[in-house]
Amino acid sequence: MMSIIMDIFSGNAGEDCIPMTEEYRSKIKQLNVYSQQLIDALGNTPDNRALLDKYTQTNADEVSMYSDACFEYGFRLGVKLMAEIYNQAP
C-alpha cells in the first residue's frame, strides 16, 4: 500500500489514465485541425504563433489543475466512504 501512495506522490501513477478510446483520439485530431485553422486564419506570423502557443499552454495548465482537483476530491470522497463503511461494520 505504501508504494502506491509514493507512486501517486511522485507522479508515477497517472500514466494509465489517458483514455485510449477512438473518441479521445478523434478529439485530439480535431484539436490539431482547429489549431492549424486558427494559425491560418490569424496568419502564421511569429507573434500570432506565440499567442496561440501561450493560449494553448495556459489552457493545458488550467485543465491539469482542474484534473488534479477532481482527483483530490475523488480520493478524499473514497477515503470518507471507506471510513463510513468500516465504522458501520458489525
Question: Quick one: pLDDT band at residue 31, thresholds 50, 70, 90?
Answer: very high
Q: Is the pLDDT of residue 5 over 60?
A: yes
- Listing DSSP states for 7-71 in one string gives HHHHT-S-GGGS--SHHHHHHHHHHHHHHHHHHHHH-S-HHHHHHHHHHHHHHHHHHHHHHHHHH
pLDDT at 46: 92
Per-residue model confidence as pLDDT tens digits over 45-75 = 999 999 999 999 999 999 989 988 898 898 8
